[in-house]
Amino acid sequence: MFGTISAVLVTLCVLPFVPFVLIYAVGALRRQPKRLSFRRAMDGTTPFLIFSVSALFNYVFSVSFGFYLLLLLLLLLAGLLGSAQNRKRGRVDSLRLLRGVWRLAFLFLAPFYVILGIGGFILFLMNS
């Protein structure tokens, strides 16, 4: 049982756009608005992108701090967005801030996944 669950999670981390397509398809089958389905698919894919981009970063650059660097960047992004929200509204809405950071993480990590994936593939071909 544990082996099956871990195999599914590893597959989803290696191919993080599979959960995106699955979540979007479920939303489409339930006849939800496309915008809502797309946002839910973004939210569901982000944790898999975090793990896969940090692993690709570690592989391409031969380091072991990719996950921590990514968390640091997400915290800096949250600080910048929180500061901007505080200047604009005079207060910070934590739920809105968290949602914004989470969705911006998807938008930043998706291209990095593609770039690091191509770089990792080239590195793999050069080493073998």
pLDDT tens digits along 71-114: 999 999 999 999 999 999 999 999 999 999 999 999 999 999 99
Q: Model pTM greater than 0.85?
A: yes
Question: What are the contacts of 92-97 at 24+ separation with CB within 8 A?
Answer: none
Using left for φ > 0, alpha for ψ between -120 and 50, and beta otherwise, residue 61 falls in alpha
What angle, rounded to 10 degrees, do the helices at 2-14 and 34-61 form?
A: 90
pLDDT of residue 1: 66
Both tokens assigned to 21: 């397509």
How many beta carbons lie within 10 A of that of residue 4, not counting itself? 8
pLDDT at 2 over 70: no
CA distance 96 to 39: 14
